[in-house]
Amino acid sequence: MEEKVKIKSIGQVTHDVKQFVTEKPSGYSYTPGHATEVSINKEDWKDEKRPFTFTSLADADELEFTIKIYPDHDGVTEQLGKLKSGDELIIRDTWGAIEYKGPGYIIAGGAGITPYIAILRELNKKNKLDGNHLIFSNKTDKDIILKDELDRMLGDNATYVVTDQEDTKYTKAYLDEDFLKKEIKDFDSQFYVCGPPEMTEAISDILKKLGANPDSVQLDDQ
């Protein structure tokens, strides 16, 4: 299945993250946390497919994608960064590695937050956010995606970790064993982990070592 959708608006979220709002095809549905293969409806780019997660609520009239732009990669996100309202994307069937199975710890690195945005928005809408904790790691303060909204939804249950900025306003740390041991109060929880592949693998190993049930650890690479 392929559907062409027109871009209705493009917003700047951080210095290198944009939010694309597009038309939503009739009958198109997805589960919060799921993604689709996206390409740009322009010659030379139609078949260059990349997976992006929906950040809109499932019942919204439009689709929204929150995408990190890599201008030096000479690839799809660089081209996405040049698009304007009225340009078209091609979307396909939906799929996903992450599914919400109850309250727990969401551990995200950088753009790895994107699969959880729709999940958190959905839980917030239903007043079911209780018991969820976010641990969100970024290189610098300015890299934190949708921080104001995350704060509104999670309050003190959002912990921001910064790795590469000495004068950060947040917690200067790495998501290593010592940090996770101190931060996580209940290893019988559900765990949702998404970020670069090496990060998700390392955190998965640490969680299991610290007593998490492997069946309760969901992983997704960005």
CATH code, 118? 3.40.50.80
Contact, 192 vs 168, CB < 8 A? no
Residue given tokens 């200067």 in the structure block:
172
Higher pLDDT, 129 or 71: 129
Dihedrals phi, psi of 94, to nearest 5 degrees:
-100, 155
Q: In this structure, what is the dihedral angle of CA atoms 3, 4, 7, 8, given to the nearest 10 degrees? A: -70
Neighbours of 112 (CB within 10 A): 26
Domain that holds residue 214: 104-221
| pLDDT recorded at residue 65 | 98
Q: Which of 95, 121, 137 is where one domain is finished?
A: 95
Structural domains in the chain (count) = 2
Same domain, 212 and 137: yes
Structure confidence by residue, pLDDT tens digits, 44-98? 999 999 999 999 999 999 999 999 999 877 799 999 999 999 999 999 999 987 8
Q: Please tell me the distance from the alpha carbon of residue 199 to that of residue 219, in angstroms, as a whole number.
A: 10
Q: Cα separations (Å) of 122 from 23, 32, 156, 204, 208?
A: 20, 7, 19, 26, 28
Same domain, 85 and 185: no
Same domain, 115 and 183: yes
